[in-house]
Amino acid sequence: AGDLNEDGTINILDIVSLAGYILGGSLSECGMEGADMNSDGLVNILDIVAIVNVILGGRTDDATSARLEKTGDALMLEANGYIGGVQMTLKHNSDFRIKLTDDALHADFVTEGNKTTLVVVVPNTEELFTYMGDFEITDLIVANSSSELVVNMPTAFGLSAAYPNPFNPS
Q: What is the pLDDT of residues 39-76, one digit of tens each?
A: 888 888 888 888 888 888 777 788 999 999 988 899 99
pLDDT > 80? residue 33: no
Give the helix ranges, DSSP H, for 25-102.
29-35, 45-56
Greater pLDDT, 5 or 23: 23
Q: What is the pTM of this model?
A: 0.77
Residues 6+ apart with CB under 8 A from 144: 49, 59, 62, 63, 64, 81, 82, 83, 84
What is the Cα–Cα distance from 127 to 135, expressed in whole angstroms?
16
Residue 43: CB atoms within 10 Å: 17
Residue type, 38: N
DSSP tag of 61: S
The residues, ordered by sequence, that sit 6+ positions from 99 with a Cβ below 8 Å of its Cβ are 129, 130, 131
Please determine, for residue 154, whether its predicted confidence score (pLDDT) is greater than 80.
no
At residue 34, the pLDDT reads 78
- Which of 29 and 160 is assigned the larger pLDDT? 29
Name the more confident of 166 and 146: 146
Residues for the chain: how many in total? Answer: 170
Which position has the higher pLDDT, 96 or 161? 96
